[in-house]
A and B are shown apart, each in its own frame.
Chain A
């Protein structure tokens, strides 16, 4: 066997009294990608910070050894660590906006690393920095050297971050959720860059992620972490073919997958706090297979073929039942509950002394759709395409500039907003920002009922109890404050708040994107149950296509303020016609090995809605663009069954 690049043995990291990393051992060979997989709070980022010895205040490496290319990192004095950080191993962080200094140009930030680790200065340093930006695929690298981070888009920023990490020519690259903050098409670009660079430079890579799809496409070997411990480790293909630990299996089953009508498997409960004293298997309280032995005796490693598992019953667990395909959801044709016609939201740009309007940001530019009762329309698109603005404009949280919104036959104007607000409500993305930390849960739920005068005042308390039961929260939740709840529970509270006024339409703005996979499954199941029970219509705003496949009946794809393709979920996602939709669908990382076509790569980023391209907005990034695309905006091309796209290329094909 090849000598490993990084060898970690029995690593223990403590912060305060909590063992955030507990007896973790793994190794990474030269040119290998090792993926650490786990939910938030499982200790994977702490493992990375332990390797770099960059622990937060109060943290310390309590035991274990970290050997990088023959040197024991733990034994090095702090002075020598400076050579290791950046030179021996480098790190890419999740949020490039926070990891880059906003007041220093990209070039100087890269040169800083070059000067420290390669002793370059002046012209050679600048040339080396440009070569690095070229290597990570930043177009027009010479000019970008003098750009500030805020002048770059998210994808370019992350590339600049990677260039900075590579500047010290590290042997090991640690990527901590490198693409979580990016859109799928940009994520595909960045992952591609990482793969290419790793192969070219023969680096080892530690990839930290919670996304099984990212792991499937990039890792050679996989380690699953749970509550500070490594619970399973194996070669990627073996791991994806037959995950052995119950936790790994449930992670797979919790993922919404295409063609799946049934309920998602959820993992009950949540990751335990790490300052607890553990007896027995840490996963036992949430494990459906747990027996008495699991609760008293901590399992050791068991080897099964190419995999190592920490489970007493590894190999003897029942094969996971194939998920029932589930009845195809009944399609009820009904009169539309919500009809939106040519909705526009333009934000004026004011300049000068008298604040004259000099232009408009066309955030939403003529959007029309309809939703029937009991149905779900998913509004899909990358960040900045205006999908959230549509949701807020529907509720008049942002005043629409033009267009008509008809709800249950009633056209909504500023005069009858009350009626709108009783019938349509919103669930927000961030469960931590959407609940007032100074109010009890019961008061939060009562707020809407009081404001809109729903129900009889004396019976509202009873209504609160009913709502809490409906979203699966304990009875005593009402008297507690939001901070006592986890992210998933908070999202349940937010859903209960929306339901408090018995709306018929709920606008869900990325309700699961801040949640872990297992919790996301709980919330998706809840949303579906509520729809079945109450006949709710959902406008589901998301960038996560896997969730769309699970929940939506219809899909509308937005690009730069306009809907470019619309149709039933199966049509749009299985047979996308618009080149943008095709790229979007192909860019989603899949966990099934070797599925279908390769990723269609989109050049560049979404243009600014302030100054959209002429003709079809998508033509600068489109592989099929022709002269007509540059001049006129395409009309609808009907593709049958209510499926339509706005594309000259599609129109040419169908004629």
Chain B
């Protein structure tokens, strides 16, 4: 066996979450009152477009969560030794992007380093921009660079369009078959937007994604598309690897938040009396402590623990991972109060409704009333809160890492990228690409998440029902 699968803590939780999501989706399919709002989400062009973009991010994040260690080539067959470096399936797909390291900074699509150095040329020491080891290495002369880039972009666009066309054909064939209509009729419906789902948006977004992806692939084969960082690492690679960190923070934190928020919020609203007093006291206190302070303290404690118990973590990745998990936990513990307060208020209203009284008149137990009458009726609030909080958490990670209390410095994350770019902003000429790359990736993810959240909120908000 040449690979040793590695399951990090966050990997396990991400896949648990995926399974839970699948079970939830299956349950929702069977409940008409839950399925109807999702169907209405699927009919919104904006939400569907955003969902596709989110989907790309999620797929990258999931691929990046399948970790393994390679066997060292010179280890004995009976006693296999594995590399200390933990890789993921996504690394394998990216291929050379990870290993093609330059010496230091280089601008996007450059073929020379960003700083002058003394180099040997024709046996003479001159001070000039040295050629990159990988970026543009196939070019003989700097004048060939722009035509080469143009050629690659063109080829990427053509390939992307072709892929988009194929995707369009597949969608058309699948949907026409499902509806049992002729392909021509389907195409007419597609053109007029009368299919009942935003097929035009889906096809256009798919095509755009394909064009973008193919162009990037073409360019990345010969250049560092987004330049390189201080140690010569490809910035595109770092940005892509950061996706997983952002997603993990956004989703696992919610996983920590939900039981606290749902359990305590509903209990406070339903039982009233001293239960309510205690829970309100707890979240008022928690809310009045500055969150960053609490997070900084907790992260430091975890850091000390990791360093004093090195035998528990066999790789650097495991160490970074446990710190990421700790960050999710502490952010979850500090961010459940808003949702809990919302659920408490809603429960206060629901508990006085006649159907809860009727259940009490039958002597139904509290647990059953909470499970059958209260929770299903606040579930839409929970869903809305999950999707709305996601983008906030992704941004919070960036801020915390920038301050230095976020994820491990060795971990790829947008916060760390921004932190690394901070000092170089003062440099002349300015090193801007790290910051811009982090910004563009984060912006795309958060915008897509927010647009999708808008769609979900509109569909589940009872006050919006009449306007649809």
How far in angstroms is the closest Cβ of chain B from A304? 41
Contact status of A418 and B363, CB under 8 A, knowing A436-B377, A481-B32 = yes
Contact status of A447 and B33, CB under 8 A, knowing A417-B363, A433-B355, A434-B355 = no
Q: Which of A393-426 contact B (CB under 8 A)?
A: 395, 397, 417-418, 421, 425-426
Specify which of A418, A428, A435, A447 is in contact with B372 (CB 8 Å cutoff): A447
Contact status of A433 and B372, CB under 8 A, knowing A448-B362, A481-B32 = no
Bound CA–CA A56/B352 (angstroms): 30
Chain B 200-213 interface 0/1 with A at a Cβ cutoff of 8 Å (1 = within): 00000000000000
Q: Which of B345-365 contact A (CB under 8 A)?
A: 353-355, 357-365
Contact status of A452 and B363, CB under 8 A, knowing A437-B377, A481-B33 = yes
Q: Does A429 contact B (CB under 8 A)?
A: yes
Specify which of B32, B33, B357, B364 is in contact with A451 (CB 8 Å cutoff): B364
Bound CA–CA A501/B353 (angstroms): 21
Q: Does A181 contact B (CB under 8 A)?
A: no
Specify which of B31, B353, B354, B364 is in contact with A447 (CB 8 Å cutoff): B364
Q: Does B272 contact A (CB under 8 A)?
A: no
- Tell which of A426, A429, A436, A437 has the most Cβ of chain B within 10 Å: A436
Are A421 and B357 within 8 A (Cβ)?
no
Q: Does A257 contact B (CB under 8 A)?
A: no
Chain A 55-74 interface 0/1 with B at a Cβ cutoff of 8 Å (1 = within): 00100000000000000000
Are B360 and A397 within 8 A (Cβ)?
yes
Contacts of B360 in A (CB 8 A): 397
Contacts of B353 in A (CB 8 A): 433-434
Are B354 and A433 within 8 A (Cβ)?
yes
Q: Which of A318-372 contact B (CB under 8 A)?
A: none
Are A428 and B358 within 8 A (Cβ)?
yes
Contacts of A430 in B (CB 8 A): 354
Bound CA–CA A426/B358 (angstroms): 7
Specify which of A397, A418, A443, A447 is in contact with B357 (CB 8 Å cutoff): A397
How far in angstroms is the closest Cβ of chain B from A549? 26
Are B362 and A451 within 8 A (Cβ)?
yes
Are B33 and A434 within 8 A (Cβ)?
no
Are B362 and A452 within 8 A (Cβ)?
yes
Contact status of A437 and B363, CB under 8 A, knowing A397-B357, A447-B372 = no
Q: Which of B322-377 contact A (CB under 8 A)?
A: 353-355, 357-365, 368, 372-373, 376-377
Are A438 and B358 within 8 A (Cβ)?
no
Contact status of A437 and B33, CB under 8 A, knowing A428-B354, A429-B354, A451-B368 = yes
- Tell which of A426, A434, A435, A451 has the most Cβ of chain B within 10 Å: A451
Q: Does A27 contact B (CB under 8 A)?
A: no
Are A392 and B363 within 8 A (Cβ)?
no
Q: Does A497 contact B (CB under 8 A)?
A: yes
Contacts of B31 in A (CB 8 A): 438
**Cβ-closest chain B residue relative to A57:** B467
Contact status of A438 and B361, CB under 8 A, knowing A429-B354, A430-B354, A447-B372 = no
Q: Does A439 contact B (CB under 8 A)?
A: yes
Contacts of A439 in B (CB 8 A): 372-373, 376
How far in angstroms is the closest Cβ of chain B from A456? 18
Contacts of A501 in B (CB 8 A): 362
Bound CA–CA A424/B32 (angstroms): 33
- Tell which of B355, B362, B373, B377 has the most Cβ of chain A within 10 Å: B362
Are A392 and B357 within 8 A (Cβ)?
yes
How far in angstroms is the closest Cβ of chain A from B307? 49
**Cβ-closest chain A residue relative to B363:** A421
Contacts of B373 in A (CB 8 A): 436, 439
Contact status of A421 and B362, CB under 8 A, knowing A437-B377, A451-B368 = yes
How far in angstroms is the closest Cβ of chain A from B226? 48
Specify which of B355, B362, B363 is in contact with A435 (CB 8 Å cutoff): B355
Q: Which of B85-118 contact A (CB under 8 A)?
A: none
Bound CA–CA A501/B358 (angstroms): 12
Specify which of B33, B358, B363 is in contact with A497 (CB 8 Å cutoff): B358
Q: Which of A121-163 contact B (CB under 8 A)?
A: none
How far in angstroms is the closest Cβ of chain B from A480? 9
Are B357 and A428 within 8 A (Cβ)?
yes
How far in angstroms is the closest Cβ of chain B from A58? 9
Are B358 and A451 within 8 A (Cβ)?
no
Bound CA–CA A364/B174 (angstroms): 68
- Tell which of B33, B358, B359, B368 has the most Cβ of chain A within 10 Å: B358
Bound CA–CA A581/B340 (angstroms): 50
Contacts of B376 in A (CB 8 A): 436, 438-439
Contacts of B364 in A (CB 8 A): 447-448, 451
Are A436 and B355 within 8 A (Cβ)?
yes
**Cβ-closest chain B residue relative to A448:** B362
Contacts of B32 in A (CB 8 A): 481
Bound CA–CA A447/B361 (angstroms): 11
How far in angstroms is the closest Cβ of chain B from A46? 15
Are B363 and A451 within 8 A (Cβ)?
yes
Bound CA–CA A448/B372 (angstroms): 13
Are B354 and A434 within 8 A (Cβ)?
yes
How far in angstroms is the closest Cβ of chain A from B126? 75
How far in angstroms is the closest Cβ of chain B from A597? 38
Are A425 and B372 within 8 A (Cβ)?
no
Specify which of A425, A433, A435, A483 is in contact with B361 (CB 8 Å cutoff): A425
**Cβ-closest chain B residue relative to A500:** B362
Contact status of A395 and B361, CB under 8 A, knowing A428-B354, A438-B377 = yes
How far in angstroms is the closest Cβ of chain B from A505? 12
**Cβ-closest chain B residue relative to A395:** B361
How far in angstroms is the closest Cβ of chain B from A65? 29
How far in angstroms is the closest Cβ of chain A from B312? 46
Contact status of A447 and B359, CB under 8 A, knowing A434-B354, A438-B33, A481-B33 = yes
**Cβ-closest chain A residue relative to B379:** A438
Bound CA–CA A483/B357 (angstroms): 19
How far in angstroms is the closest Cβ of chain A from B71? 54
Bound CA–CA A255/B80 (angstroms): 91
How far in angstroms is the closest Cβ of chain B from A77? 27
How far in angstroms is the closest Cβ of chain B from A359? 20
Contacts of A417 in B (CB 8 A): 363
Contacts of A483 in B (CB 8 A): 33
Bound CA–CA A417/B357 (angstroms): 15
- Tell which of B357, B359, B373, B376 has the most Cβ of chain A within 10 Å: B357
How far in angstroms is the closest Cβ of chain A from B367? 12
How far in angstroms is the closest Cβ of chain A from B45? 22
Contacts of A451 in B (CB 8 A): 359, 362-365, 368
How far in angstroms is the closest Cβ of chain A from B17? 24
- Tell which of A433, A435, A481 has the most Cβ of chain B within 10 Å: A433
Contacts of B363 in A (CB 8 A): 417-418, 421, 451-452
Contacts of A426 in B (CB 8 A): 357-358, 361
Bound CA–CA A392/B373 (angstroms): 20
Bound CA–CA A57/B364 (angstroms): 43
Contacts of A57 in B (CB 8 A): 467
Bound CA–CA A57/B466 (angstroms): 10
How far in angstroms is the closest Cβ of chain A from B331? 31
**Cβ-closest chain B residue relative to A426:** B361
How far in angstroms is the closest Cβ of chain A from B57? 32
Contacts of A443 in B (CB 8 A): 372
Are B377 and A447 within 8 A (Cβ)?
no
Bound CA–CA A481/B31 (angstroms): 10
Bound CA–CA A439/B377 (angstroms): 10
Contacts of A438 in B (CB 8 A): 31, 33, 376-377
Bound CA–CA A65/B467 (angstroms): 28
Show 8 A/B contacts (Cβ-Cβ < 8 Å), sorted by A: A418-B363, A421-B363, A428-B358, A439-B373, A443-B372, A451-B365, A452-B363, A501-B362
For the complex of A and B, the 4 pairs showing the least CB-CB separation, nearest first, are A434-B354, A438-B376, A448-B362, A428-B354
Known: A426-B358, A429-B354, A439-B376. 14 other contacts (CB 8 A): A397-B357, A418-B363, A421-B361, A426-B357, A433-B354, A434-B353, A436-B376, A437-B33, A438-B31, A439-B373, A447-B364, A451-B364, A451-B368, A483-B33
